[in-house]
Amino acid sequence: MNRELTRGQLVYSLAGNDKGEAYLIWDVINDTFVKVVNGRKKSVTSPKKKNIKHLQPTKRFADEFEKKKLRHISDLDVRQAIDRLTGIE
């Protein structure tokens, strides 16, 4: 299975205290780890390092990450993107 993840991609945590939590990929560190944010417990100033084995990727992406530079994305932007991508409005 191809586990390639991309910045702005919606993922769900499969393991840990945050199991079931929705995140957006903030940065790809290497083939094993990424940094994720949700704009709540894990902010853009303090993203969570997560092993990709513990993530369930989706085919949904936040377009905001492509249009803006990361330093211009706020926690509010992240929360709104996750809500939109998960159907919570």
Chain segment 32-50, per-residue pLDDT in tens: 999 999 999 999 999 999 9
Domain boundaries, the chain: 9-86
Residue 68 has pLDDT above 80, yes or no: no
Average of pLDDT values for 45-65? 92
pLDDT number for residue 57 = 95
Q: CATH number of the domain at 9-86, please?
A: 2.30.30
pLDDT number for residue 54 = 95
> Is 41 in a helix, a strand, or coil?
coil
Residue 2 has pLDDT above 70, yes or no: no
The H or E element that residue 68 is part of is: none
Compute the residue count for the chain: 89
Instruction: Kindly indicate the confidence band of residue 52, based on its pLDDT and cuts at 50, 70 and 90.
Output: very high
